[in-house]
Amino acid sequence: MLVTLLLALRLAPPAWALLPFTRADAVNPILTPGSGVFECPIRRELVHWEADNVFNPAAVVYRGKIELVYRAEDKSGEGIGNHCSRLGLAKSSDGLHFRREPVPVFYPALDSIRRLEWPGGCEDPRIVEAPDGRFVMTYTMWDRKTARIGVATSRDLHHWKKIGCVFEGTPYRDVWSKSGSIVCERQGDQMVARKVDGRYWMYWGDTDMFIATSPDLIHWKPAETGAAHRAVVLKRRLGKFDSSVCEPGPPALWTKHGIVLIYNGRSDRNGDPDLAEGTYAAGEALFDGKNPSKVIGRLDTYFMKPQRSYEVSGQYAAGCVFAEGLAHFKNRWFLYYGSSDSRISVATLKL
């Protein structure tokens, strides 16, 4: 009895953590590649825009439904990073069963930032609501040479205004950057961007994790420890699931405990011995609510790793759960994640 009690205490998550999530096995994966056809404005021909893979969605509660803006890949190339990605839209009344739009809502086009998005496309969206009601989306612009975090805004999730690189006007404009997770606060079922110390904050990066600030959610400046040295706020850990990558997941959540960030880690040969080399798993960290660059808590290990068949077979052969969309809906948290870079799945947490 004593051993059982001690084990339970050791395994119990800290009070700040969003846990435990339970996979919705009855419906997973909730989205798989589709047969939709779209006329590409650059190629000027019809393409099966989501025929190869769908994964890594943003999640928003809008007009009484959960809406996913998700990454979809066509069959224009072979291997990871060699397709063209566009963003589709799917809607659900229960968070589990989705109906998708027939054509993408966001894609490379004949516009001012075409050269930053073509031929690789638009990847890995994350969305928060601005205080004025606009949706602000960060995403990866991929020209198949350098990844850059882009930003766009919308009033309805269908029609988007592209703005360009979040680091425009800084020395980091053409530096590899991915995965912009903006600090927000839950207001009912809405995830609204929150200022801390008069500024907005964004976690970013796909090695160690960095941080940037903005006065307006559009123009961002990375924090530095010296000239052209990005300030690291979350480091990779030897022997852990995040030994080679610490990459932000959904928008970071400001709470009474601090700022909770669900993030994605990748293990390498120096990582968790229980994980295959290259495995992506999900963890959580806590940052100071008054100083978002200061980490004050971190789970010792992952809370979700690839286990199901749809998480260990697909485009990413090493196995991958990649958390990216988080929504509060009908007294539950819904965590949407990419499964092996090929499908979309969900796990839930009942409050």
Q: What is the DSSP string of 23-90?
A: E-TTT-SSB------EEETTTTEEE-TTSSEEEEEEEEEETTEEEEEEEEE-SSSSSTT-S-EEEEEE
Cβ atoms within 10 Å, residue 44: 8
Identify whether 250 is part of a domain: yes
Measure the CA–CA gap between 332 and 90, rounded to whole angstroms. Answer: 19
Q: Is the pLDDT of residue 5 over 60?
A: no
pLDDT over 90 percentage in the chain: 93
pLDDT value at residue 11: 67
pLDDT of 146 = 98
C-alpha span between 79 and 77 (Å, rounded): 7
| Dihedral pair phi/psi, residue 112, rounded to 5° | -70, -20
| pTM for this entry | 0.96
Q: What is the CATH number of the domain that holds 28?
A: 2.115.10.20
State pLDDT tens for residues 177-231.
999 999 999 999 999 999 999 999 999 999 999 999 999 999 999 999 976 689 9
* Predicted pLDDT of residue 77: 82
Residue 16 covered by a domain: no
Total count of domains within the chain: 1
| Residue 10 placed within a domain | no
Question: What type of residue sits at position 120?
Answer: G
Residue 4 in any domain: the answer is no
Return the ∠ at Cα 263 (arms to 312 and 134), rounded to 5°.
Answer: 115
For the segment 142-168, the average pLDDT, to the nearest whole number, is 98
For residue 285, give both structure tokens.
């960290």
Could you report the per-residue pLDDT of 240-297, keeping only the tens digit for each? Answer: 999 999 999 999 999 999 999 999 999 999 999 999 999 999 999 999 999 999 999 9
Question: Which whole-number Å values give the CA distances from 256 to 16, 111, 156, 252, 289, in the listed order?
Answer: 8, 43, 30, 13, 8
Q: Domain range spanning residue 345?
A: 21-350
Omega prior to 29 cis, within 30 of 0:
yes
1 domain-assigned: no
Given a cut of 70, is residue 82 above it in pLDDT? yes
The rounded distance, in Å, linking the Cα atoms of 123 and 58 is: 11
Is residue 118 in a domain? yes
pLDDT per residue as tens digits for the range 25-74 = 999 999 999 999 999 999 999 999 999 999 999 999 999 999 999 999 99
Find out whether 194 and 184 touch, Cβ atoms under 8 Å: yes
311-337 pLDDT, tens digit each: 999 999 999 999 999 999 999 999 999
Per-residue DSSP letter, 106? B
- Identify the three-state secondary structure at position 10: helix
Q: For residue 6, tell me if it sits in a domain.
A: no
Does a structural domain hold residue 44? yes
